[in-house]
Amino acid sequence: MKNIRNFSIIAHIDHGKSTLADRLIQYTGMVDERNFQDQILDNMDIERERGITIKSQAITLPYRAKDGNDYSLNLIDTPGHVDFSYEVSRALASCEGVLLLIDAAQGVQAQTIANLFLAMDNNLAIIPVINKIDLPTADVERVIEEIDSELGLDPFSHLKCSAKEGIGIEEILEAIVQRIPPPTGDPEAPLAALIFDAKYDSFRGTVIHCRVFEGTVQSGDIIRLVYNGATYKVDEVGGFSLGRLRREKISAGEVGYMIAGVKTVSDVHIGDTITLDQRPCEKPLPGFKEFKPVVFSSIYPIASDDYEDLAVGLEKYKLNDAAFVYQKDSSAALGQGFRCGFLGLLHLDIVQERLEREYDLSIILSVPSVRYRFTLKDESLVVIDNPAHYPDPMFIAKGEEPFIKAILLLPEKYLGAVMKLCMEKRGVNSKLNYLSPGRVELIYEMPLAEVLFDFYDRLKSVTQGYGSFDYEVIDYREGDLVLLDILVNGEKVDALSQIVHRENARQRGLQACERLKEEIPRQSFKIPIQGAIGGQIIARSTIQPFRKDVTAKCYGGDITRKRKLLEKQKKGKKRMKMIGSVTIPQSAFLAVLKTDTD
Amino acid sequence: MFTNQKSEIGNRKSKVPGLYIHVPFCLRKCNYCSFYSITSLSSIPDFLKALLQEMEMVHDPWGPFDTVYIGGGTPSLLTIKQLESILTRVQKYFRLLPDSEITLEANPGDLSLPFLRSLKSLGINRLNMGVQSFDQKILDFLGRRHSLEQAISAIESTRLTGFQNLGFDLIYGIPGQNLASWQKTVEQALTFLPEHLSCYQLTLEEKTALGQRYRNGEFQLPEEDLQYDFFMKTSEWLEGAGYLHYEVSNFARSLTFASRHNQKYWNHTSYLGFGPAAHSFKDGERWWNHASLDPYLADIENGKLPVEKKENLTIEQLRLEALFLGLRTKRGISLQDFTRQYHSDLLFEKKEVIGNLERQGFLSIQKGHLVPTRAGLAVADSLALI
């Protein structure tokens, strides 16, 4: 056990986490140059394209240290986005230490701090690593300052590297051996293993990724999942190389996998404890929480014939994403579909993209919503996440919406602009901390609904990319919440309805009408777009009919060029939905929530 | 005689192929033009040599042709001798039907009386002149090298020489132009009783001089409503004057004078192109030559056909082309032929949309054809997306 190190790399998005993981893997000879592919651990196309890690991954790196001993370094890669902070916390709970990666040009950002807190909560050894020191804009001295003043860590404890150029990799590996403590635990004690991830394998069913804290598990054991009490017989256990590496047993201190005939990943809960049915541990490992989706939207097939395909696609998708929940739903405008819950907007985006890409589905998502609570006059409580279920306003005594605590880090000179943005988003109870000269931490309490949609983009724009942001949901607060309906060509499109604060209703209605005017292609007739509250029109815009195309020459026999243009337009049309006699593009439903970034 | 009243001009069943020759030279580049052309005339001899070789390499693959179209560029820049060498080569390697339509695109500035007489003796029987406007200010804006005076005198000379199939290209939708000034140009054109008129809406391409100036905000284009009026009025005026609005931008004094060659592009008849950037089409396959002169010359030098790319159209692609090309023409789309060729019954598949567009006055169904109305022609591209 003394030759094992369990660690993770944490960082703000784009600070080079996946690249550093690549280098560590390469350095320890896990993969030769020929088979090397960037972002080895990001093995979904989406992860590579977007440069973010969505699923956790684990890999054991064999390393012979300068002290002459051989070590097994277990790297647990974590998702890199606030939507997935619970998974990150469970992955960290499986480690004894972290590399806290900081971009030498950008310095400490909001997620750096949020991740640091997560690591501190888990009592981990923290090794600050300054990455990208090769950049011409690198300012290592300033970052060392920030490590001291903003993170409160020993500034002399830092390492410098350029993951891209492969500089400083050996020093990092040595530091992992020397500064991260080996795991402790008793291989003979009753089994206690923490589930930090679960993946679906179409041949083997669910593969549970776990960290064993106490005891030992081997094939043939009957395990019990503490949260739901389900028991399974273990088929196979093992550790991680570039793939799974079957072993006889895994014991206290080790990171590994378990295959035990679990049908879907939804049957296991990240953060849950695995123990032995016959000889259970005394109490489960701490920190377990149930997944709670915060953003809701309905998914409809663009062609109603595709409903069955969508149902199958969702079922398959769900096998591998325990955080995603759905149930049947239907809309007057869009027909049969599914109401779905997501961890955040990025999660929603990813689900949409994967359904389209991996299951070849053309889908429309209704305007996303958070979950609201309404107390009715008869004192009953209704919880709704779908504007279609907004109660009759006659009977509403009180409406409540979720609030978050938003933590923003920014250069002081943007303070005014950011405060203005937060106020516009109904932020309250602000707190301001000066972290170091010229840099501030701003804390606001804000309605989740206001931040979900375009807050992040606007923050980036008003701070020219220097502002960063992290949040957690704190509580529900009362608000005057009304239902804003959208009528296109006189027809109410229920999938475009949203619940808004009365104060903002008119402005939001205008915004939605203007947005839709831009998104909905002109048609052969005039299309009025209206925003209404309870039948009263509060906003409108009009799409003028098209009258004249630019019918350029089709000469010299070059028909191909023109055809390609039309093919492109036709493809765009496939992602539109006929509602009444108007075609509405997929993009319109999400665009309604976006404000102009000026 | 170059026209034959009994020929099947314009009839979609006439599937005799056409021959196109691209002459990529211009004295100067017009401000709006994005077609491939070179303003240095020194490489004309190399081009000619290669062109003649290309024809020799291809030889006569598909039997008789009934159109030859020499376009560009500005083919009227070539000398009579040069044009003669091309046409002689055409005659040598390709069989032309006796009543073939032989068109030359011409800049009015090039058409002197002796030149015109020689053109006629070469057998050229149709002239398409890039008149563009009868307003000197607009000619300047467009960067045309001919003057208004040259245009008028060239037109008169053509008639004197006895050309009986004369077409003008005109452009509308020019910044600052209004309906009245455009009407003047159209009316003046009509005084010459042209057999054919092409009226194009000015379109700005990215890489042209005007495109650049537009991006810099130096001028604005007419609003869509005015563009619509230009289009509708042009159609009304010319149909009122007895012309047939047979394609989005094209008008003929009678069906006989509809451009036989261009119609081949619009109804998937075969065509064979020579010279840089020339396109060819046959049996669902389309291919085109290198657009620029150097690779074109190099390939021929090496005894290779100068083809840049070939594409084999899928039935789906042919269907889309038939749809958008058909809806740009007065004849429209024969529903029966369409169903037979593309296994796709438009009336059945698009019943609702077609019904709506019929009610809104964009389409009508006449004698088994889906036909765009005048307002439909104005939005032909959108109709193709039904």
CATH number at residue A551: 3.30.70.2570
* Same structural domain, A334 and A391: no
Q: Is A550 on the interface with B (CB under 8 A)?
A: yes
* Same structural domain, B42 and B145: yes
Residues of A in contact with B36 (CB under 8 A): none
* Same structural domain, A56 and A126: yes
- Contact call for residues A277 and A224 (beta carbons, < 8 A): yes
A458, A479, A500 - which closes a domain: A479
Tokens of B314: 């899928």
Residue A552 in domain: yes
B208, B235, B266 - which closes a domain: B266
Residue whose token pair is 């560029």:
B73
* Same structural domain, B261 and B344: no
Range of the domain at A219: 192-225+247-276
Give the pLDDT confidence score for residue B3 in this predicted structure.
Answer: 37
Residue A288 in domain: no
Q: Which residues of A139-172 are buried (b: 16+ CB within 10 A; e: fewer)?
A: bbebbbbbbbbbbebeeeebbbbbbeeeebbeeb
CA angle centred on A304, ends A299 and A307, rounded to 5°: 60
As a whole number, the mean pLDDT across chain A is: 87
Residue A44 has pLDDT above 70, yes or no: no
pLDDT band at B151 (very low <50, low <70, confident <90, very high): very high
Residue A184 in domain: no
A365, A387, A420 - which closes a domain: A365
Higher pLDDT, B344 or A435: B344
A341, A365, A389 - which closes a domain: A365
Cβ–Cβ of B321/A581 closer than 8 Å? no
Q: What is d(CA A71, CA A53) in angstroms, rounded to the nearest whole number?
A: 26
Q: Is A571 on the interface with B (CB under 8 A)?
A: no
**Nearest residue on chain A to B231, alpha-carbon basis:** A548
- Written as one letter, the residue type at A411 is P
Cβ–Cβ of A570/B248 closer than 8 Å? no
Range of the domain at B326: 315-383
pLDDT band at B74 (very low <50, low <70, confident <90, very high): very high
Residue pLDDT, tens place only, A193-206? 999 988 888 888 89
Q: Is B23 on the interface with A (CB under 8 A)?
A: no
pLDDT band at A387 (very low <50, low <70, confident <90, very high): very high
Of B295, B132, B311, give the one whose Cα is nearest residue B210: B132
Closest CB to B20: pick one of A557, A566, A567.
Answer: A557
Q: How many CA atoms lie less than 13 Å away from B378 in the CB half-sphere?
A: 23
Of B295, B360, B364, give the one whose Cα is nearest residue B333: B364
Checking DSSP bridges between strand B196-201 and strand B166-172, what pairing results, if any? parallel
Q: How many residues does chain A have?
A: 598
* Same structural domain, A13 and A135: yes
Q: How far off is chain A from B382, nearest CA to CA, in Å? A: 7
Residue whose token pair is 């550790």:
A239
* Same structural domain, A500 and A446: no
* Same structural domain, B242 and B322: no
* Same structural domain, B98 and B196: yes
| CB-count burial class (<10 Å; 0-12, 13-18, 19+) for A174 | middle
Give the pLDDT confidence score for residue A460 in this predicted structure.
Answer: 81
B204, B238, B266 - which closes a domain: B266
Tokens of B293: 């002169």
Residue A353 in domain: yes
Residue B373 in domain: yes
Of A350, A374, A362, give the one whose Cα is nearest residue A44: A350
| SS3 (DSSP) at A475 | strand
| SS3 (DSSP) at A561 | helix
Give the pLDDT confidence score for residue B11 in this predicted structure.
Answer: 40
Q: How many residues does chain B have?
A: 386
Residue A261 is part of a domain; what is its CATH number? 2.40.30.10
Higher pLDDT, B48 or A435: B48
* Same structural domain, A218 and A265: yes
Q: What is d(CA A155, CA A180) in angstroms, rounded to the nearest whole number?
A: 17
What ipTM was predicted for this assembly?
Answer: 0.88
Residues of A in contact with B377 (CB under 8 A): 551
Q: What is d(CA B191, CA B249) in angstroms, rounded to the nearest whole number?
A: 20
Residue whose token pair is 């709670």:
A292
The number of folded domains in chain B is: 2
* Same structural domain, A361 and A383: no
The answer to whether the predicted template modeling score (pTM) of the entire model surpasses 0.90 is no
Of A199, A188, A249, A241, give the one whose Cα is nearest residue A219: A249
Residue pLDDT, tens place only, A176-228? 999 999 999 999 999 999 999 888 888 888 999 999 999 999 999 999 999 98
* Same structural domain, A486 and A474: no
Residue A282 in domain: no
Residue pLDDT, tens place only, B241-297? 999 999 999 999 999 999 999 999 999 999 999 999 999 999 999 999 999 999 999
Residues of B in contact with A524 (CB under 8 A): 356-357, 360, 362, 379, 382
Tokens of A555: 């000469």
**Nearest residue on chain B to A562, alpha-carbon basis:** B321
Q: What is d(CA B26, CA B24) in angstroms, rounded to the nearest whole number?
A: 7
The number of folded domains in chain A is: 5
H or E segment at A94?
none
Checking DSSP bridges between strand A4-11 and strand A70-77, what pairing results, if any? parallel
Tokens of A516: 């839709």
Residue A29 in domain: yes
Cβ–Cβ of A554/B281 closer than 8 Å? no
Residue A137 is part of a domain; what is its CATH number? 3.40.50.300
* Same structural domain, A104 and A16: yes
Q: Is B281 on the interface with A (CB under 8 A)?
A: yes
B205, B232, B266 - which closes a domain: B266
* Same structural domain, B239 and B322: no
Cβ–Cβ of A551/B248 closer than 8 Å? yes
Residue B83 in domain: yes
CA quadruple B53, B56, B62, B66: dihedral positive or negative?
Answer: positive
Q: What is d(CA A193, CA A281) in angstroms, rounded to the nearest whole number?
A: 10
Residue B25 in domain: yes
Provide mean pLDDT across the span A147-171.
91
* Same structural domain, B324 and B250: no
* Same structural domain, B361 and B240: no
Residue B291 in domain: no
CA distances to A370, A419, A426, A455, B349 from A423, rounded to whole Å, are 20, 6, 5, 12, 53
Q: Is B32 on the interface with A (CB under 8 A)?
A: no
Residue B92 is part of a domain; what is its CATH number? 3.30.750.200
Residue A509 in domain: yes
pLDDT band at A34 (very low <50, low <70, confident <90, very high): low
Tokens of A201: 């394998």
CA distances to A497, A553, B83, B283 from B278, rounded to whole Å, are 54, 15, 17, 17
Cβ–Cβ of B325/A567 closer than 8 Å? no
Residue B342 is part of a domain; what is its CATH number? 1.10.10
Residue B326 in domain: yes
Cβ–Cβ of A553/B382 closer than 8 Å? no
Residue B285 in domain: no
Residue A383 is part of a domain; what is its CATH number? 3.30.70.240
Residue A235 in domain: no
* Same structural domain, B244 and B348: no
Cβ–Cβ of B280/A557 closer than 8 Å? yes
* Same structural domain, A470 and A489: no
* Same structural domain, A487 and A475: no
* Same structural domain, A392 and A355: no
* Same structural domain, B231 and B365: no
Residue whose token pair is 């779908």:
A386
- Contact call for residues A366 and A298 (beta carbons, < 8 A): yes
Cβ–Cβ of A558/B279 closer than 8 Å? yes
* Same structural domain, B255 and B322: no
* Same structural domain, A330 and A210: no
Give the pLDDT confidence score for residue B101 in this predicted structure.
Answer: 97
Q: What is d(CA A228, CA A159) in angstroms, rounded to the nearest whole number?
A: 44
Residue B223 in domain: yes
* Same structural domain, B45 and B139: yes
Q: Is B248 on the interface with A (CB under 8 A)?
A: yes
Judge if the upstream peptide bond of residue B73 is cis by omega within 30 degrees of 0. Answer: yes
* Same structural domain, B256 and B337: no
Q: How many CA atoms lie less than 13 Å away from B147 in the CB half-sphere?
A: 3
